[in-house]
Structures are given as structure tokens and as C-alpha cells.
């Protein structure tokens, strides 16, 4: 869809790209030029409805490139939707040949970069997937307000798809899960920053954590 910034496939693809420092771009990248900004916008605009006041772009690699896009497009806004690392890792496995341990490590790496970059972003909001599906309208209202848009009712019912992954974690992947909990305790400690656990109940209510939307 664009030829300015290398896609995730250039850095190993899903579940791998955040490990490659070359994929992590910020305002110091040589790609931050007026020519590249205009070219990127021109290529993206082939897919946009330009009658709309707000344009949205979603790519997984943005989690490690937010500062780069802010430098290209001052005033842009970032909505980070985080999801439990167990669900993300097991879902990503269909595209990646890496181990479950490596996939969770990748989640940790990507979100470490995201948290580090937060201090440099002017406009950002972080939403947990689990809170969005549990209370769609209140969370959507926060997003609309952040984006400067008038809230509208949710147009479809949202369903939490994490449960099947938790079952797999405790059954078909139980040996890998036990190994990770035993030998990589830092995974669980980092996940707790978002109110996540590697054992049931897996997700803590937002009010009981220090994580804020």
C-alpha cells in the first residue's frame, strides 16, 4: 500500500519484527523528509475516502514507529489497543514459526518500546482490548473524545475471543506455559503493568491496576 517505509515482512514478519532494531523508527530516521511525507500520503490516499475529515491507518508495526509517524505528520493521534500476551501470541502463531516463548518475548519487546516512546508522543491513548469488549460504548466514547469526534452508538456486538486461547494455554500448550512461568518470570512481571497475569483469572479489572486508559 506504500513504498516509503519497509513492511514487517522485511524484518521477519509477525511475531518477529520488533526484535529488529531497524524496524524501530523515530524522529531521527533518515526517512523523515518532506518528500517522503508527501509520497506516503499520496500513496495512502489511493485507499482513503478523502471526503472524510478523519483518516485512519492501522499497521502492527506502528507500535514501534509512533515517534516516526509523529515527525512525519505533526498533530496526528495514536490509539494503542493492547491485548493479553497469551491471546496475541497464540493468535500470531498461525503466521509465525517461532516458539510460544519467543512470541510472548516479542509482545514484551514491542510493548516495552511502546511504553518508552509514550513520553515523546503528544497525542496518545491506550485501550485494553478486554475493556473494549467488556464495555464497548464507554471505551468508544473515550476514543471518540480523544480523536475530537462526535460519539456514535456501537454498530455491532463485540465479543471477547480470548477464552479459547486461555484454554489452549492450560491444555495443549500447558508444557510451554509451565516452562515460561518457571523460567521467564520477567514476562509475568511486565504483563502485570497492563493488569495481565499468566494464570487465571488472566485479566485484572482496570480499577485494581495502576494502568490507566
Angle at 151 between CA 148 and CA 156, to 5 degrees: 130
Is 164 part of a structural domain of the chain? yes
**SS3 call for 202:** coil
The cell for 175 is 508444557
Is 213 part of a structural domain of the chain? no
- Tell me the HSE value of 204 on the side-chain side, using a 13 A CA sphere: 16
By the 8 A CB rule, do 15 and 103 touch?
A: yes
Q: Which CATH number do you get for residue 110? A: 3.40.50.300
Domain count, the chain: 1
Is 76 part of a structural domain of the chain? yes
Does the reported pTM lie above 0.85? Answer: yes
Is 67 part of a structural domain of the chain? yes
pLDDT digits (tens, 9 = 90+) for 45-64: 999 999 998 999 999 999 99
CA distance 195 to 37: 37
Rg (CA), the chain: 18
Is 3 part of a structural domain of the chain? no
Is 204 part of a structural domain of the chain? yes
pLDDT for position 97: 87
Q: Residue 148's domain spans which residues? A: 8-208
pLDDT digits (tens, 9 = 90+) for 74-98: 999 999 999 999 999 999 999 998 9
**SS3 call for 97:** coil
Q: Using 50, 70 and 90 to split pLDDT, how confident is the model at 211?
A: low
Q: Using 50, 70 and 90 to split pLDDT, how confident is the model at 209?
A: very low
Is 2 part of a structural domain of the chain? no
pLDDT for position 148: 93
Is 106 part of a structural domain of the chain? yes
CA distance 9 to 14: 8
CB count, 10 Å around CB of 23? 21
pLDDT for position 213: 41
By the 8 A CB rule, do 107 and 85 touch?
A: yes
What is the torsion angle, in degrees rounded to the nearest 10, for the CA atoms of residue 91, residue 95, residue 100 and residue 104?
-70
Amino acid at each position: 500500500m506504500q513504498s516509503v517505509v519497509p513492511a514487517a515482512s522485511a524484518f521477519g514478519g509477525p511475531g518477529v519484527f520488533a526484535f529488529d532494531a531497524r524496524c524501530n523508527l523515530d524522529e531521527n530516521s533518515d526517512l523523515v523528509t518532506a518528500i517522503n511525507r508527501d509520497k506516503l500520503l499520496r500513496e495512502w490516499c489511493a485507499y482513503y475516502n478523502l471526503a472524510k475529515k478523519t483518516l485512519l491507518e492501522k499497521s502492527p508495526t506502528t507500535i514501534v514507529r509512533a515517534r516516526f509517524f509523529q515527525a512525519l505528520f505533526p498533530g496526528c493521534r495514536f490509539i494503542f489497543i493492547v491485548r493479553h500476551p497469551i491471546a496475541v501470541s497464540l493468535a500470531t502463531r498461525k503466521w509465525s514459526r517461532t516458539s510460544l516463548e519467543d512470541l510472548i518475548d516479542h509482545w514484551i519487546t514491542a510493548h516495552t518500546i511502546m511504553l518508552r516512546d509514550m513520553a515523546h508522543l503528544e497525542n496518545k491513548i491506550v485501550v485494553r482490548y478486554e475493556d473494549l469488549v467488556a464495555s464497548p460504548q464507554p471505551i468508544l466514547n473515550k476514543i471518540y473524545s480523544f480523536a475530537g469526534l462526535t460519539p456514535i452508538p456501537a454498530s455491532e456486538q463485540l465479543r471477547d475471543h480470548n477464552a479459547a486461547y486461555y484454554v489452549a494455554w492450560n491444555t495443549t500448550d500447558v508444557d510451554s506455559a509451565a516452562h515460561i512461568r518457571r523460567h521467564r518470570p520477567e514476562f509475568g512481571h511486565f504483563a502485570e503493568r497492563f493488569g495481565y497475569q499468566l494464570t487465571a483469572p488472566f485479566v485484572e479489572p482496570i480499577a485494581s491496576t495502576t494502568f490507566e486508559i
